[in-house]
Amino acid sequence: MLDYVVNLAHFAVSTIASGVAPAFGPAAAAVAIVLFTVAVRLVISPLSWAQVRGARVSPLGGCLPALVQAPFFFVMYRLFTTPNDLLDAELAGVPLGHHLTDGLSPAGVVVYALMFTVLAVLARLSSKRVRAATAEGSAEAVAVGRVLALLPYGTVVFAAFVPLAAGIYLVTTTAWTALEQGVLRRHR
């Protein structure tokens, strides 16, 4: 079943890449990953609303909707770690299947530095939001908040061990989450 869903995701990303290729050239596959991720995040937005409502009850109350989103992550992870033609495409001369441990060209240094900088900034924003949400709770809530505040930095670490394509997905979904959480929390 997972292979079927991964094949559907591959078809969707490839189709989007073909559609945007005239405008984005060699970066079309990277742009397609971003657009596909945004499209899926739009579809699962109701889960984010549920997550924000659940988090009002307790910091852990929003975890279930986040876990429901995990299958999409697993599909994307499998798509970007299984050899396929998307991973042969490039972003600024760096193949999307490239791992940080494969060594870096000058272009790779720039691409990875930008990716890690964006992920670190997003992790910091998310961490601050968690700390602020738990700062006025019970001692247990504050303790849980301290641990939860460290979790966003796991994305930065994780990005160091996956192909560039997965890093692009992580940047996109993390940025979407930060934006969405900021908007949803303002309008509760």
Each residue's pLDDT tens digit, 32-63? 999 999 998 888 888 767 766 666 675 555 56
Taking a C-beta distance cutoff of 8 angstroms, is the pair 123, 149 a contact? no
Cα–Cα distance for residue pair 9/18, rounded to 1 Å: 14
Residue 164 has pLDDT above 80, yes or no: yes
Token readout for 34 is: 């971003």
pLDDT (average), residues 111-129:
91
Backbone angles phi, psi at 95, to 5 degrees: -60, 140
**Which residue matches tokens 């940080």?**
100
β-pairing verdict for 94-95 and 90-91:
antiparallel
What are the domain boundaries of the chain?
Answer: 2-186
What pLDDT does 59 receive?
A: 54
What single DSSP character describes residue 150?
T
Helices 164-186 and 45-57: crossing angle in degrees, nearest 10, is 60
- CA 162 to chain CA centroid, Å, is 12
What pLDDT does 148 receive?
A: 77
What are the distances in angstroms from CA 158 to CA 118, 141, 148? 14, 26, 16
